[in-house]
Amino acid sequence: MLQLSQRGVALPASPYRKLSPFADAARQRGIIVHPLNIGQPDIETPPSMLAAVQQADIRVLEYGPTAGTVSYRQKLAGYYQNLGLDVTAEDILVTTGGSESISFALLACLNPGDEFIVPEPFYGPYNAFAISTGTHVVAVASHIENDFALPPIEEFERKITPRTKAILICSPNNPTGYVYSRAELEQIKDLCVRHNLFLLSDEAYREFCYDADFTSALHLQGADDHIVLLDTISKRYSACGARIGAFVTKNKALRDIVFKLAQLRVCPPGLGQLLAEAAADLPEDYFDHTKAEYLARRDLMVSRLRGMPGVQCPLPRGAFYVLCHLPVDDADLFAKWLLEKFSYRNETLMVSPASGFYATPGLGRQQMRMAYVVNQDVINRAMDCLEVALREYPGRWE
Amino acid sequence: MLQLSQRGVALPASPYRKLSPFADAARQRGIIVHPLNIGQPDIETPPSMLAAVQQADIRVLEYGPTAGTVSYRQKLAGYYQNLGLDVTAEDILVTTGGSESISFALLACLNPGDEFIVPEPFYGPYNAFAISTGTHVVAVASHIENDFALPPIEEFERKITPRTKAILICSPNNPTGYVYSRAELEQIKDLCVRHNLFLLSDEAYREFCYDADFTSALHLQGADDHIVLLDTISKRYSACGARIGAFVTKNKALRDIVFKLAQLRVCPPGLGQLLAEAAADLPEDYFDHTKAEYLARRDLMVSRLRGMPGVQCPLPRGAFYVLCHLPVDDADLFAKWLLEKFSYRNETLMVSPASGFYATPGLGRQQMRMAYVVNQDVINRAMDCLEVALREYPGRWE
């Protein structure tokens, strides 16, 4: 019999999109489904960035350089330099989205069977990235009680084995919204140096810090060879569909390997790079406006959630997600029930149950993630639905 | 000590681009280097396809559907149907270039340690795709004496082990230009059915057949679950930089796995899909013009090569490459010498030594690949250089 690969069979479905069929069915019944499940910003892509593609003079849409165009890499280096990071164009390999950057890191730093440590809850697809690269996620639990702060560094150290090759962090964190402090990052860096580990730092939400100062892994001193920045323009410029990210490291030997991996796909998307390059010409206050909007949404969503009996909601200091505790038996069942059985004023909401963000079975069962990527009117409507739903849900459980 | 992955270290550099530093150095010395090393067409991307992107009304460049937009998949299905293939939009997953399609196939059909059989010489990066997916290339040699036709099917059968999961073919072939006949494809298909193997068919050059009828693997009957078409728009529409390909199969279980892999990168490039979708509106005779141009170039290059003493050049019936035998000791040394030591009228040429297209060490040592993706004037100039070079090269060897 024709057999599919075990790794393929073992892959989990996306925790964000597994409820899509139920949402489609609800919409077909005429119900308005508010999509809080996925981090797709509704903020408009800067028109000047789109114009850069739309006005470009292209005769042949050729293969570009494997590491990305020189002009874009130079401008991106300038962006990092403005953040106080010592990054040159040579340190950057432009990737096809942040996702490719994650794959490259795991393929280049880990062998099959090797492990990387991640604080959980974490960006759900890390599980599937591990399976597709033959590596293993080892999770260290963070806790809602202290806003999902970095777990004690001793807990990381206890999980280190001869197969551990890296620690992967995400700050500002998806799904928790926590922003690691400089002191926390220094602890992780020291541990990586002590145990010869790579520090892989997913900073997709760098610009979205509200009540915390952002520190990049590349701000840390004395560990240049260990640190890899995994980046993307998706959230920064509301340009998810461009599929442009970056793999950034001062480690030349690592870059050389990633370059060979990158040669397999010849080059990153050319049109997306034109768009990304134009970000350099955005006005200096571009992020102020976007951030102010997200901040207002966050405050609204958090205050609405905190007004619901039995809901526990930490203040997410960055990114654009809320990870909250609900008074329900099982957030997976609740999320499905919202789409299958519930509506209020002919509306309902789609959320991401948190189980998909944990590696340890059973953790996060009463938690769910919502993205505040919709306007305040929609947030209010969705929260109205949630409030009623929590009263009506038959599986309510304090 | 911080260690990089063994698989990363083991990756070969691209056989097309490994001479780039020498070409750059030659250019810095003021020498014109004719780039025959890489399959980057100089044919212009259809302006109507570029216009589709440039005139699109985009407010937010959002994530698209994981499998590609419905509208593009429907139009792409129409393209396949026009070729007489029974393909619907559901059978298609749009990929980020043909390269992603190859990775998906190896990850979904093979486990680490599994093998796939490929006629050699083959598209060089297959070696690196194997390393990055933990799989193994098993090569069956084809021969210049019979234009690199399909080797006897018994030779494939002899290489089958319990770890063999697929046969990978490329037709029209890169680098040989050979186009498999229907009868040859039927033999491969029967073998795949008999031994429960997938038949992975890379058809990137489908439109470029000059003296042979094209047969797609999907034209074959009675093996729907086995057949996977690996496709790309790069060569077809001279749109290499768009990074749009496709993974096409009637095997639903396989598609489900590839869909989960595809969720890792959320979606293929959005701007590239807009461009690709507009291909549906090209005039029916679009390929006629392009093909006529390539045919004239092929005939010119082949006749020039056949006029050089000691050069053996089969007639490539498809794609846009010539793989020829040279009277030199080692094509790798010769190709480097062309860039480092040689010039004629202040010009030289960059080629791809064939060693990078073979898995078996030592094979193809006197062969090199040249792409006829430059105009006829440049081909003549490059062939003038080659003719002189073959006389002057100190390592001449009949």
Preceding omega of B121 cis (within 30 degrees of 0) = yes
Residue corresponding to tokens 């590349």: A218
CA dist A186 and B321 (Å) reads 54
Average pLDDT, integer, range B58-83: 97
**How much is the pLDDT for B229?**
98
Average pLDDT, integer, range A166-174: 98
Residue A231 burial by Cβ neighbours in a 10 Å radius (0-12, 13-18, 19+): buried
Average pLDDT, integer, range A381-385: 98
Q: Is the pLDDT of residue B18 over 90?
A: no
The pLDDT-based confidence of A17 (bands split at 50, 70, 90) is confident
Q: Is the pLDDT of residue B15 over 80?
A: no
Higher pLDDT among residues B397 and B258, named by residue: B258
The pLDDT-based confidence of A13 (bands split at 50, 70, 90) is confident
CA A308 to chain centre: 27
List chain A residues with CB under 8 Å of B132: 107, 261, 264
Strands (E), A148-234: 164-170, 198-202, 227-232
- Which residue from B240, B234, B172 is spatially nearest to B203, judged by alpha carbons? B172
List chain A residues with CB under 8 Å of B267: 240-241, 243
Nearest to B270 among A64, A132, A241 (CB): A241
- Distance separating the N- and C-terminal Cα atoms of chain B: 49
Q: How many CA atoms are closer than 13 Å to the CA of A21, on its beta-carbon side? A: 3
> What residues have CB less than 8 Å from B322, skipping those under 6 apart?
B177, B298, B301, B302, B305, B313, B316, B369, B370, B372
- ipTM exceeding 0.90, yes/no: yes
Give per-residue pLDDT as tens, A50-94.
999 999 999 999 999 999 999 999 999 999 999 999 999 999 999
Residue A121 burial (CB count, 10 A)? 27
Percent of chain B past pLDDT 90, that is, above it, reads 95
Mean pLDDT estimate for chain A: 96
CA dist A254 and A196 (Å) reads 14
Average pLDDT, integer, range A235-259: 97
**Nearest-CA distance from A322 to chain B in Å?**
21
Q: Is the pLDDT of residue B14 over 90?
A: no
Interchain contact, A269 vs B266, CB within 8 Å: no
Give per-residue pLDDT as tens, B175-204.
999 999 999 999 999 999 999 999 999 999
Average pLDDT, integer, range A264-270: 97
Q: Residue A252 in contact with residue A49, Cβ under 8 Å?
A: no
CB pairs under 8 A between A and B: 239
Q: Is the pLDDT of residue B1 over 90?
A: no
CA dist B110 and B40 (Å) reads 30
Give per-residue pLDDT as tens, B350-380.
999 999 999 999 999 999 999 999 999 999 9
Q: Is the pLDDT of residue B216 over 90?
A: yes
Nearest to B109 among A5, A61, A62 (CB): A5
Domains of chain A: 6-44+286-392 (3.90.1150.10), 47-281 (3.40.640.10)
Average pLDDT, integer, range A223-238: 97
Q: Is the pLDDT of residue B17 over 90?
A: no
Nearest to A241 among B132, B242, B267 (CB): B267
Interchain contact, B62 vs A99, CB within 8 Å: no
Rg (CA), chain A: 21
- Listed in sequence order, the DSSP H helices in chain B are 6-10, 20-28, 47-54, 70-82, 97-109, 126-133, 153-159, 182-194, 252-263, 270-277, 286-306, 331-340, 376-392
Structure tokens at A219: 């701000």
Q: How far is CA B372 from CA A72, B6, B114, B288, B376, in A?
A: 30, 37, 36, 17, 9
**How much is the pLDDT for B39?**
87
CA dist B247 and B268 (Å) reads 12
Interchain contact, A265 vs B100, CB within 8 Å: yes
